[in-house]
């Protein structure tokens, strides 16, 4: 019986880094889920992610709409035509979680929609939907930061989910 | 190949209800934990109750940090209450309606503090219902071996239930 939920790759950082890539992602799944847990190093970091087919798309082909709460107020906003669809920041002393769901990631017909949840108990909780305006299949994912790093010990795991 | 996503246990509240319920003796053999739960409270004279999950019988307020975002159909709010992760129906909510809870706990058996993520919904086909996101942190280096669901006002009614899944990253 084929496995429905399968780990594709996992990385536990042995040292601080500003970028983690997943490449050569098989197109044999239906959806992907990326789970990130950890800390920032060198100061609060400001992560973002990008995707691509054969190479990472660094163009302004992303947009997102978000809702967030920081413990005292709630807000919503959006970014259009961005090259760095952002994720809520990681802190250096309080661990955070990011999950990104990539629905129907390998089809070559539609633009790609991702559902992002960030949980930072000491800074903010956020949900957003991100759109990559490309009909190409996703076979590369990049997590990066615009300043500081992901801390050593942070984990990044990619899972594949198969429909029946 | 080892199973990636495995049901560890299911608990269901029986007749008479329960003040708390949960899981004990959780093995350390997985990478992450996922809980899917369906709960309802007997809180009198109220359509909504709220509650939280605590780990390893630790109810010390200073050991939990929370950021919460929720909407009730007319407005959105945010708060940091240490013992409030989710909302669920109370006794006067639409009959036979239970709230849904989703807890994700990565790296639960490691030696770092334990971060977790909560989504909950409490749709009631009424004037007030709540959708909620919570970011949580349990400041403990201990592996999680028990998880307890608790309510802040009532008790869990019969048929409230939760299933604990283990997820392996390799």
**What digits encode the pLDDT tens for the residues A3-32?**
789 999 999 999 999 999 999 999 999 999
Query: Is B79's CB within 8 Å of A5's CB?
Result: no
Q: Which of A22, A41, A125, A152 to mutate to test the interface with B (most CBs of B within 10 A)?
A: A125
> Which residues in chain A touch residue B120, judged by CB atoms under 8 angstroms apart?
none
Instruction: Name every residue whose Cβ is closer than 8 Å to that of residue B95 and which is 6 or more positions away in sequence.
Output: none
> Which residues in chain A touch residue B7, judged by CB atoms under 8 angstroms apart?
none
> Which residues in chain A touch residue B119, judged by CB atoms under 8 angstroms apart?
117
- Kindly provide the ipTM of the predicted complex, given to two decimals: 0.91
Structure tokens at A104: 């129907």
| pTM of this structure | 0.94
Query: Is B135's CB within 8 Å of A120's CB?
Result: yes
B40 shares contact with chain A (CB less than 8 Å): no
B66 shares contact with chain A (CB less than 8 Å): yes
Q: Which of B107, B108, B138 to mutate to test the interface with A (most CBs of A within 10 A)?
A: B107
> What are the tens digits of pLDDT across the range A91-128?
999 999 999 999 999 999 999 999 999 999 999 999 99
Cβ burial of B163 (10 Å; 0-12, 13-18, 19+) is: middle
Residue in chain A nearest B170 by alpha carbon: A7
Model pLDDT, residue B122 = 86
Determine contact, residues B64/B126, Cβ cutoff 8 Å.
Answer: no
Chain A closest CA to B83's CA: distance in Å?
Answer: 13
Chain B closest CA to A59's CA: distance in Å?
Answer: 31
Q: Which of A95, A123, A154, A155 to mutate to test the interface with B (most CBs of B within 10 A)?
A: A95
Reference B105, options B97, B116, B95, B92; nearest CA is B116
* pLDDT tier at B126, thresholds 50, 70, 90: confident
Determine contact, residues B49/B151, Cβ cutoff 8 Å.
Answer: yes
């Amino acid at each position: 019986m084929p496995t429905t939920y399968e780990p594709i790759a996992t990385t536990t950082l042995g040292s601080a880094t500003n970028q983690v890539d997943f490449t050569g992602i098989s197109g044999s799944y239906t959806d992907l889920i990326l789970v990130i847990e950890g800390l920032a190093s060198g100061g609060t970091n400001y992560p973002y992610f990008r995707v691509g087919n054969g190479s990472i798309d660094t163009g302004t082909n992303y947009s997102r709409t978000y809702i967030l709460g920081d413990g005292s107020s709630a807000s919503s906003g959006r970014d259009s035509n961005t090259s760095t669809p952002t994720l809520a920041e990681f802190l250096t002393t309080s661990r955070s979680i990011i999950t990104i769901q990539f629905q129907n990631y390998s089809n070559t017909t539609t633009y790609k929609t991702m559902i992002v949840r960030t949980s930072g108990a000491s800074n903010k909780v956020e949900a957003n939907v991100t759109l990559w305006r490309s009909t190409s299949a996703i076979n590369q994912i990049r997590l990066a930061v615009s300043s500081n790093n992901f801390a050593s010990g942070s984990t990044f795991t990619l899972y594949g989910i198969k429909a029946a | 190949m080892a199973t990636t996503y495995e049901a560890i246990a299911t608990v269901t509240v029986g007749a008479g209800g329960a003040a708390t319920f949960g899981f004990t003796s959780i093995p350390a053999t997985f990478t992450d934990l996922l809980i899917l739960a369906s709960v309802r409270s007997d809180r009198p004279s109220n359509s909504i109750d709220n509650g939280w999950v605590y780990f390893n019988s630790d109810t010390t307020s200073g050991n939990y940090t929370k950021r919460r975002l929720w909407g009730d159909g007319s407005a959105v709010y945010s708060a940091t209450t240490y013992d409030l992760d989710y909302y669920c129906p109370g006794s006067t909510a639409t009959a036979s309606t239970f709230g849904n809870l989703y807890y994700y706990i990565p790296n639960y058996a490691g030696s770092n503090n334990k971060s977790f993520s909560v989504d909950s919904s409490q749709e009631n086909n009424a004037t007030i219902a709540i959708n909620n996101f919570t970011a949580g942190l349990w400041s403990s280096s201990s592996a999680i071996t028990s998880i307890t669901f608790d309510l802040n006002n009532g008790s869990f009614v019969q048929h409230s239930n939760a299933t604990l899944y283990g997820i392996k990253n390799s």
